[in-house]
Structures are given as structure tokens and as C-alpha cells.
Homo-oligomer: A and B are copies of this chain.
Amino acid sequence: MNSVESVKAVNQVDQTDIAEVMHALATDSRAAAAVLANATTDAKNLACREAATALRRRTDTILAANSEDITAAEARGTPGPMQDRLRLDAVRIEAMAEGLDAIAELSDPVGQVMDEWDRPNGLHIGRVRVPLGVIGIIYESRPNVTADAGALCLKSGNAAILRPGSESIHSSRAIHDCLVEGLRAAELPVAAIQLVPTTDRAAVGCMLTMPDLIDIIVPRGGKGLIERVQNESKIPVIAHLDGICHVYADGAADVTKARDILVNSKMRRTGICGATETLLVDAAIAEKALPQMIDDLVTAGCEVRGDVATQAADARVVAATEDDWNTEYLDAIISVRVVDGLDGALAHIAAHGSNHTDTIVTEDAATAARFLREVDSAIVMHNASTQFADGGEFGMGAEIGISTGRLHARGPVGVEQLTSFKYVVQGTGQTRP
């Protein structure tokens, strides 16, 4: 055997090992899911609260682990907004802990009667929530996904297999330790929330091809990850694609509201999926409102790329290309276009939007109603910032992601979206004629 063959042989053994490890891990998850499906609400809540306590107590350990990840990210030359996604501080860890406490406070979806009715023949039919089973979450840089996704799966009675990216592996392991502490305190199976023990990409391939052991895959990350998962998965995927969100400032807008909503939608945090990427301004108010809006953006540190009309309004605007309308910057950059009223805005969003979140600013109720009805996005808003596109802000406690698909879950994916249901039919001996 020459050295190349030897290396190949070693890799083959490794790949086999990974397949075996992943199969054993998922088998444990399936067994844990059967226990979780009948776990009490109290036990699940206790696990969340004890995990929150552990997060707070271990803040220093988590920050130390996070700084390992950050150092590696800096060494790789990771861009600033990506580093922002990765970075933890005491405030963000406390927010994670509060997220877990909030999930403990949520109603337990499992066993909820979603709907019930009687049939003329006396049958009573109920639709009752049940867990989905085993959920695989494949994510990249944001370490808080470990806590949010793990606890959301637990509360909804599902076993979770968490596969963080190598970028956040140290942070994720430190957070996962806290989740396991919570599970132990509640005497729930520790396999209820498992972290994939290797960052080898082969582990992802294994997860995507075990439909008997994993019921649903939730990828969270960049386009490359999502596309790979969607192409390779033999398991249903709840995917979060681009967030090309729009603010449309209508001719009947209150300009002060429009300016506040615009700056908040774009600049509050630029690296999140609900950040606005494109401003559409009704030509009817462009002359009055556009110069102020551009000035607000530039003052806030935003690069403005505009069409000809926008460039004419302010010398600091650079020319937008066709690509700009289809780009999720996730950075302090915005594209701006002057459109011909609501119809122009609807046409632009239909052509360039990503069906995520779009908002209209207007005082005209009829115009707002048409925007809300006709824009085909998971979240449509009237006089509110697109940065509210978030499960926590919606009152769901926390979210595992925002689905841009139309099946099963659309928009923020919280505990209810992580359940299925069954029909329970109660009779007194009925037979069908």
C-alpha cells in the first residue's frame, strides 16, 4: 500500500466510524423521543429552568469558550458582521438564559386540543398536538442556536440532534453542557438533546440520510449550507432562505414614522435576517422625504446605493446595479428605489423579494390592506419595523428559525411549529353505513 492509498484507507475508516457514530447517536435520540413524547410539562420546564441557571452560573466558562471561537474567526479574517453573529458577552448569555426561562413559561403544546367537533352520527373528533419526533438542526456561527433550538425541541417533546458549525463549536459545547445539566436535574434522558461530537462535514451527510431516525431537518446558516441540505436531504427540511426585506414608504406615509421605521429596520442590527435590505419610496413623496431618509441612513453609518432618482436626491448615494435588488447584504448597506406607488412597490417585491418580511408605512388603511394581502411573504407589516420578524418578538418565547417555505411552518418556528397532531375519534360503537 503506498502512502496515498494508506491515507485513503484511513479516511474510509474514519467515514465508516462517523456513519456508525451518527447512527448510534440518532438511535439514542429516537429512544429519547419516545420518552419525551410522554414527559410531563413540569419535567420539561424544570430542565429549561435548570439549564438557564447553569448558563448564568457558567457565564465565565462560556465566555472563555467563545473567545476561542472568536480568536479563530479573527485569524481566518471573518468579516465583522459574521463575527457579530458569533460573539457572546454577558448580556447575550443572560438573554439566552431568559429565553430558556421564557420557553419554560410557555404553554406546553403537546396534548393541546387544537380543534374538536361532533359529527351527526355522534362521533366526537378532536385534533390533538403531538411531537414531531427527532429534529436535526444544522447551523453555523450563532452559538445561541444551541440553547434556543435545544430548549424549543425539548418543550415541544422532540429529541434534538444539534450540529453546530466548526466556527462556534467551543461556544456550542459549553452551552450544550448547560442543557445536559438541565436534563439531568429533571431526570429526563440526556440523549434528548445531543450535540454531534465531530465537526467533520460527513456527519451532516449522515444526518440527511437517516429518514427512519430523524423526522425533520432544520438548517440555519448561509446559502451554501441551505442549498446543500435541500439537495442532499432525504428528510423533510424546514429551511430559512434569504431575508431580502423591504420598507415601502407610501405616498400617504407619516414621514416621521417612515424615517424611524427605516433606520430601525436597517440599522438596529444589520446581521439578522429581518434587517431591511431595500427601501422603496413612492414617487409622490420622494421629493419631500427622500433627502431626509438618505441623510438619516448616512448619518447612522449606512452606505446607500440607489437608482437614478435616488442618486439625484443626494450626492452621497452610489449607483445601484441590478444585483443590488437581489442581495441580502447583512451589513450597513441599503439599496433604494423610487417606485410608482403601491403597484410599483408590489411589482418590485414580487420580482426581488425573498418572501420573508416586508413592511409598508402609510396612513391609508386601504393601501395598507392591499399591501398586507398581496405581498406574498411569511410576514407582512404595516407601520412597524422589519426587525420585529422574530419568534421572541411575536411572543413565541424563542424561535428555531424563520421559515421561508410554505409547508408546515412559515415565518418564526416556535414550539407549536415543532409539533404534528393526531385525530382522536371517540365513538359509542358506530359503524359506517
Contact = CB atoms under 8 A, between A and B. Distances in A.
A76 interface: no
Contacts of A425: 359, 379-382, 384, 388
Contact of A422 (B378, B383, B395, B427): B378
A161 B427 CA distance: 37
Contacts of A185: none
A430 B384 CA distance: 5
Nearest to A123: B384
A385 B426 contact: no
In the assembly, how many copies of this chain are there? 2
Interface in A173-230: 215-216
Q: Output the residue of A383, A421, A431 with the most chain B CB within 10 A.
A: A431
A427 B268 contact: no
Contact of A407 (B406, B408, B427, B431): B408
Interface in A92-124: 117, 119, 123
Contacts of A264: 431-432
A136 interface: no
B383 A430 contact: yes
A17 to B, nearest CB: 28
Contacts of A381: 424-427
A3 interface: no
B380 A423 contact: yes
A423 B406 contact: no
A385 B430 CA distance: 6
Given A236-B236, A395-B119, A429 B380 contact: no
Contacts of A383: 426-430
A219 to B, nearest CB: 15
Contacts of A335: none
A257 B429 CA distance: 5
Contacts of A42: none
Contacts of A423: 378-380, 394, 410-412
A319 interface: no
Interface string A393-433: 11100000000011110111000000011111111111110
Q: Output the residue of A359, A376, A378 with the most chain B CB within 10 A.
A: A376
Interface in A359-389: 359, 372-374, 376-385, 387-388
B422 A388 contact: no
Interface string A256-281: 01001101110010000000000000
A125 B359 CA distance: 13
A393 B405 CA distance: 31
Interface in A286-325: none
A332 interface: no
A410 B424 CA distance: 12
A132 interface: yes
A26 B63 CA distance: 53
Contact of A408 (B38, B215, B408): B408
Interface in A233-272: 236, 254, 257, 260-261, 263-265, 268
Nearest to A231: B234
B377 A429 contact: no
Given A264-B432, A268-B431, 14 more contacts: A117-B395, A125-B395, A216-B406, A236-B236, A260-B429, A260-B431, A261-B429, A264-B431, A379-B423, A381-B425, A384-B429, A388-B425, A388-B432, A410-B422
The 9 closest A-B pairs by CB, nearest first: A384-B427, A264-B431, A408-B408, A257-B429, A406-B420, A387-B432, A381-B425, A383-B427, A385-B431
13 contacts: A119-B393, A125-B394, A236-B236, A257-B429, A260-B431, A261-B429, A377-B422, A379-B425, A381-B427, A382-B424, A384-B430, A385-B430, A407-B408
